[in-house]
Structure 1
Amino acid sequence: MDSRSSILYLGIPLGTWFQTQVRVSLLFPLLLVICIHRLGVPVGVAVTVLVFLSVLVHEFAHVFVARGTGGEGDEILIWPLGGLAFVRTGPTTSSEFFTAAAGPVSNLLLLVASLSALAMMRVPISADVFHLLEIPNVTLETTVARDVLLLMASINFKLMCFNLLPAIPLDGGQMALSLAKTRMEPLPARIRILQVGQVIGLLVAVAGVLMEDVIPVFLAFWLTIYNLHEYFLARISEAYDEPITLQEFSSDDRESPRRPGMIERWRQRREEQRILREQQERAEAERRLDELLDKVHREGMSALSEAERRFLTRASARYRSHEH
């Protein structure tokens, strides 16, 4: 889902945190409406807030690990089905894998922290905390701290399990894709994982029907449609990478020039936009680098902020790699 002109990508800016623009989707209030309808006002509002905070931590984990493994991340969008961190991983399998894995790991850490706090409070942990669909039966009336911790543990358990499903665009699918690309070319690997994602979607739908719950059915519908859409795009891309020629049926030895098709023109425009974006980013990086070098020359390294030092280190490493 790369086209940010879709309604799925429209959002309200919440500011820039840790050099990352954070926005909340215009569709996010739907989650609040659903939670209040199913759980009542106090618990519904609490669940929505805790989901927002958990997803925010989840997405920042992607951003930080991407930066730490040679990539970049500059934007987060919180939306009803979770979040989207717009990151560019480093050029290694480990960067791709660990950037994707960072999200579920952050949910695991929040789960463990919540359970540890409950254990210190000597609160018995009920089985419904680990239910994949239901949340603990809490009221938020007298034992607010306990109830919030139970909800936090339950929400992060669900987020972790859902995101570990091996289906794109979930983290489990991205992790599986990074491993599959070590055994085959990127496009065939993506096609294979998208096929797996379709099967996962159908299995989740069957589970939802058996449990008589609409939420798994809705999630399965979304997963299946998304993976089918991406699968057909990948197949079209695969076909156009090896164009079909009609030379065998031609009456002339000279091949007539072929007008690019719609998909090919779209790909050309995407490539031109990518090149232009890279040129603009490179020019901006060089301008900022010149400013920092001038600042170092005038005031010394001690005058640089931590963010400026990180940028200077990344720029130096990038220039050294280009020289080699």
Structure 2
Amino acid sequence: MNDRLNWMHLSVSAGRLFSTHVRLSIWLAIVPLVVCPRYGFTLGMTFSGLLLLSVLLHEFAHVFTARWTGGRADEVLLTPVGGLAQVSPARGAFGMGLTAAAGPALNLLICLFAFPGWYAPQTLPSSLNPFVLPIGSLQAATIWQDIGLLLFTANWIGFLVNLLPVLPLDGGHILRAALLTRIAPEFVNRTAINIGIFVAMLILIGGASFDNSQVVLIGTFVLTMNLIQYFQLELAEALEAAGPSDDDLLEDDETLERSNTVSTRESLHGPLESWREQRRVRREQLEQTRQAQVEEELDSLLAKVHEHGLHSLSEQEKNSLKSCSDLLRERSKHGD
């Protein structure tokens, strides 16, 4: 899903699949660079390939779930841990949470399918350790068993990592969806980031206590991601508090009128009230833009239904039609 961590999105194009643009993160190169020197070229590249396949399936689980719930999905970004699909979930906590959970859920299903207990129970303890590969080399006599073990490990790592309640990972998006049902939307991102920083500190303390450098590295990475998002959020709020830009002021007469109202209220109520008023005006402007987009999409779908009938709509278009109709109906009730 869309996130603020643009440095995580450095990638190259790999074409299109299921009407979705697929991009490969440059960070994928880290996997063979770390694994091959330790386990050999053949085993390292085999594991890297299975991890890439697992991440691809993980991301398309997000894509199909987002479309099924009425959202959009135009691009996926394959990273070593997944969780960065460029999808727009359906509005509301349910659509956001279900779309985020789809990736780890698919990883778990693959883990159950490739579970070592079915065919190699003696490797189970090492297979459940996400910090090591369960085999030291590929053997021709046990090639399919070895591939099954590597497939389990790739998906087990993806499942565990994405359970961390840290943005931009799937666990962070699931947490954000849960927070939407409990607190005001404007506090959701800040609360999720604060939780992520707390989790990172726990990971760092745990890694240092057990002298595990890999856990310390994960904790450092998680802390870095959340601190970057924290400072980006602070910057965004500071810019928002500074008021609309010159381009926004010239957008239309209504925006100019509202800006003048904000300036008048600033002189009457002071900087705190001015900041609150600017936030309110900005939210209203964004809401009007979103409503215009929804109405435009709804008009397009209704025109298609009028011309060709309801059967001409795809499942995704039917879901979008229902989502747009429900949203406009809900706003109409609130407006009354």
TM exceeding 0.5: yes
Matches within 5 A, 1:41-60: 41-60=41-60
Contact residue 70 and residue 316 of structure 2 kept, 8 A: no
Matches within 5 A, 1:57-206: 57-115=57-115, 119=118, 121=119, 124-142=122-140, 143-206=142-205
Q: Quote how far apart the aligned CAs of 1:9 are.
A: 2.1
- 1:40 deviation in Å? 1.2
Determine the structure 2 residue equivalent to 1:313: 318
TM-score (norm 1): 0.76
Return the structure number with greater relative CO, CA threshold 8 A, min gap 6: 2
Matched-pair contact (CA < 8 Å) for 1:187–1:238: no
Post-superposition offset of 1:69: 1.9
After TM superposition, the structure 1 stretch with the greater mean CA deviation from structure 2, 27-36 or 312-321, is 312-321
| Aligned counterparts of 1:165 and 1:52: Cα–Cα separation in 2 | 20
CA distance in 1, matches of 2:164, 2:293: 37
Three-state SS of the structure 2 residue aligned to 1:135 is coil
Given that 2:100 and 2:173 are in contact with CA atoms closer than 8 Å, whether structure 1 keeps it comes out as yes
Distance (Å, rounded) in 2 between the aligned partners of 1:215 and 1:277: 44
- Amino acid across the alignment from 2:229: E
Amino acid at match of 1:82: G
- Specify the SS of the correspondent of 1:160: helix
- Sequence identity, in percent? 27
Q: How far apart, in 1, do the equivalents of 2:323 and 2:220 lie?
A: 43
CA contact (8 A) 2:52 2:80 kept: no
Per-residue deviation at 1:31? 1.7
Contact 2:298 2:321 in 1 (8 A): no
**Could you tell me how far apart the structure 1 residues matched to 2:91 and 2:297 are?**
21
Matches within 5 A, 1:29-44: 29-44=29-44
Q: Distance in 1 between matches of 2:3 and 2:68?
A: 23
Quote how far apart the aligned CAs of 1:218 are.
2.7
Count of equivalent residues: 299
Within 1, Cα distance between the matches of 2:79 and 2:109? 22
Stretches of structure 2 lacking an aligned partner (at least 5 in a row): 244-265
The answer for unaligned runs of 5 or more in structure 1 is 245-252
When residues 19 and 279 of structure 1 are mapped into structure 2, their CA distance, relative to the original with a 3 A threshold, is: farther
Specify whether residues 152 and 312 from structure 1 end up closer, same or farther in structure 2 by C-alpha distance, changes over 3 A only: closer
Write out per-residue CA displacement over residues 26-55 of structure 1, whole angstroms, 9 at most, x where no aligned residue: 332222211112221111111111111111
TM-superposed CA distance for 1:19, in Å, is: 2.1
Which structure shows the bigger proportion of residues in helix conformation? 2
Secondary structure of the residue aligned to 2:27 is coil
2:97–2:174 Cα contact (<8 Å) kept:
yes
When the two chains are superposed, the root-mean-square deviation of aligned CA atoms in Å is: 3.8
What per-residue deviation string (whole Å, max 9, x for no partner) do you get for residues 262-285 of structure 1?
A: xx9xxx8xx999998997898789
Distance (Å, rounded) in 1 between the aligned partners of 2:205 and 2:133: 21
TM-score by length of 2: 0.73
- Mapped contact 1:191–1:235 kept (Cα < 8 A): no
The question of whether the paired residues in 2 share the 8 Å contact of 1:55 and 1:82 is answered with yes
| Cα distance in structure 2, aligned partners of 1:7 and 1:231 | 15
Structure 2 CA distance for aligned equivalents of residues 318 and 198 of structure 1: 35
SS in 2 for 1:126: helix
